């Protein structure tokens, strides 16, 4: 089972991006679609959960690092992986993803789990849990299967939540410069839970992402209002993660 509806995507132009100054040059933050994004920094390109076909990546340099958060098809997407140039890429994945990763990529994979960390090419990577509440054996995202990630790039700490709810591990985060937080029912959490979690750990910048659910797109404008009514210092950035989409059931 994949956790979200499939999409067809047509890109009239490359996705827009933002820049964040680090102590070692600019960090480029590029939304792709849904839970997929690209981080470019210090000559390296980091793909997170590449999904939805290769067209969105045509103007983006090939990846040096691929992070995959979970086994669902909108995170581990073999068709998209096969359409990309991954010859030099290292993968960082949880064990459940490593078990399902196509054989040809297994030798490129570094497996780390919740609470673990590693460093690759000067990039510190910490793994944060991602899971549904209340915890249950039949949860769509049980604790321990998937990974959220914190990357340290030029002194900036970037949090990528993966498919999670408002869990204690997220609320306890400290010194997060940029966060990408999911909010799509019934797979992760609603905007109220997401706002509560964000207000607890107070990232400097927050991007709502992964916000398509069974009833369409979450109201991210309302999420922004909830956050900024209580903390005007959090920069809530709304970007178009679903350009020119056509849903199919």
- CATH number of the domain where residue 58 is located: 3.60.15.10
Percent with pLDDT over 90 in the chain: 84
Query: Kind and range of the H or E element at 103?
Result: helix 103-106
Confidence check: pLDDT of 246 > 50: no
Find, among 157, 216, 150, 156, the residue nearest to 183 by Cα: 216
Percent with pLDDT over 70 in the chain: 92
3 vs 23, higher pLDDT? 23
> Cβ-count burial of 149 within 10 angstroms (0-12 exposed, 13-18 middle, 19+ buried)?
buried
| Domain-embedded: residue 106 | yes
The two tokens of residue 138 are: 């039949």
| Domain-embedded: residue 9 | no
177: pLDDT confidence band, cut at 50, 70 and 90? very high
245: pLDDT confidence band, cut at 50, 70 and 90? low
6: pLDDT confidence band, cut at 50, 70 and 90? very low
pLDDT, position 12: 36
Beta strands 109-111 and 90-93 are parallel
Confidence check: pLDDT of 38 > 70: yes
244: pLDDT confidence band, cut at 50, 70 and 90? low
| Domain-embedded: residue 111 | yes
* 3-state secondary structure (DSSP) of residue 61: coil
Weakest-pLDDT range from 8-22, 32-46, 100-114, 184-198: 8-22
| Domain-embedded: residue 132 | yes
Structural domain boundaries enclosing 62: 17-237
Q: How many domains does the chain have?
A: 1
| Domain-embedded: residue 36 | yes
| Domain-embedded: residue 3 | no
Find, among 125, 145, 159, the residue nearest to 3 by Cα: 145
Mean pLDDT of 76-93: 96
pLDDT, position 5: 38
- Residue 17's Cα: distance from chain center in Å? 15
| Domain-embedded: residue 62 | yes
């Amino acid at each position: 089972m994949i956790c979200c509806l499939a999409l067809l995507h047509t890109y009239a132009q490359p996705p827009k991006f933002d820049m964040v100054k680090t102590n070692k040059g600019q960090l480029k933050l590029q939304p792709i679609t849904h839970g997929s994004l690209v981080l470019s920094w210090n000559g390296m390109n980091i793909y997170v959960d590449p999904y939805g076909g290769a067209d969105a990546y045509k103007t983006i340099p090939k990846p040096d690092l691929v992070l995959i958060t979970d086994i669902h098809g909108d995170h581990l997407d073999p068709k998209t992986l096969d359409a990309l140039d991954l010859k030099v890429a290292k993968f960082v994945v949880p064990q459940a993803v490593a078990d399902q990763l196509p054989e040809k990529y297994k030798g490129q994979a570094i497996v780390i789990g919740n609470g673990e960390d590693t460093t690759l090419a000067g990039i510190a990577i910490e793994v944060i849990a991602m899971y549904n509440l209340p915890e249950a054996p039949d949860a769509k995202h049980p604790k321990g299967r998937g990974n959220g990630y914190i990357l340290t790039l030029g002194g900036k700490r970037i949090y990528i939540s993966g498919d999670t709810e408002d869990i204690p591990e997220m609320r306890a985060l400290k010194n997060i410069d940029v966060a990408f937080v999911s909010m799509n029912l019934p797979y992760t959490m609603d905007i109220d839970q997401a706002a509560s979690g964000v207000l607890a750990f107070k990232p400097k910048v927050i991007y709502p992402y992964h916000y398509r659910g069974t009833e369409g797109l979450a109201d991210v404008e309302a999420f922004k209002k909830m956050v900024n009514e209580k903390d005007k210092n959090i920069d809530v950035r709304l970007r178009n993660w679903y350009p020119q989409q056509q849903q199919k059931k």
